[in-house]
Amino acid sequence: MPIKTNHRHSGFSLVELLTVIAIIGILAALIIPAIGKSKELANRQKAASNVRQIAIAYATYANSTGRTRAIPSDTATDIYLWAQILADEVELNDAALYYVDVDPSVAALATLPKVVSINGVLNTDFNGSPVGYEAVAGLSPRAPASTTPLIWSRDLKTDGTWDAITSPWEGAGGHIGYVDGHVEWYNNLGTGATSGEVINYTTKAQTSNITETINASAKIVTQTAPTP
């Protein structure tokens, strides 16, 4: 009498394979954006930490002589000379603090400068490189520390938005570091003279124009020295 045998097919059926692929696709759709969001948040936190270190160094410089002083606008005519003053006066000489990792201009460089100043002389590799920030020289000693911006992500326009082409975060927003050392991220500063998210230095009203947040004799220093 012949013996019956049961033959089992090994492996997945087509339906099972398609089901697994569909599940993997769904999981990937959920996980990949979350990873991207986490990386973006980490980049923002690192940049915020860098800005905070710069602001704290500025506070040290401003009060290190027993009297309040500001980085002079006639000496610091661009962001590089502004940074050199902090490097020479309070030893904030790490050039990496001034770059934003996601900045396309930075990604295009083969290497980044390591220091701002070398033996009291501005590092030529740092000078002219795509630093991620603009700052203020000549701030009044009476400037309200919690509402007066000191340094912010590059290419912030007077309408309260960052330039979508040239800013480090490609128009997605930016950081502002205040005189008291706290740092905030803004998608933009709002629009209009009364609906902004920063404070007019004179009127104390809300504004979106960053140039209105500092005293009249102060100057915004950028990668290019202002025209006299």
pTM recorded for the entire structure = 0.82
DSSP E strands in the chain: the ranges are 117-118, 121-122, 133-137, 149-153, 174-178, 183-186, 198-199, 206-207, 219-221
Judged against a pLDDT cut of 50, whether residue 5 lies above it is answered with yes
pLDDT tens sequence across 50-82: 999 999 999 999 998 888 899 999 999 999 999
pLDDT at 227: 46
pLDDT at 192: 59
pLDDT at 39: 82
pLDDT tens sequence across 123-165: 999 999 999 999 999 999 999 999 999 999 999 999 999 999 9
Judged against a pLDDT cut of 50, whether residue 228 lies above it is answered with no
Residues 150, 135: Cα–Cα separation, whole Å: 6
2-11, 102-111, 204-213: the lowest-pLDDT one: 2-11
Number of H helices and E strands in the chain, helices first, is 3, 9
Determine the average pLDDT of the residues in 26-52. Answer: 82
Q: pLDDT category, 100, cuts 50, 70, 90?
A: very high
Residues 67, 61: Cα–Cα separation, whole Å: 10
Residues 86, 117: Cα–Cα separation, whole Å: 10
pLDDT tens sequence across 184-222: 999 999 875 557 899 999 999 999 999 999 999 999 999
Strand partners, 177: 151, 183
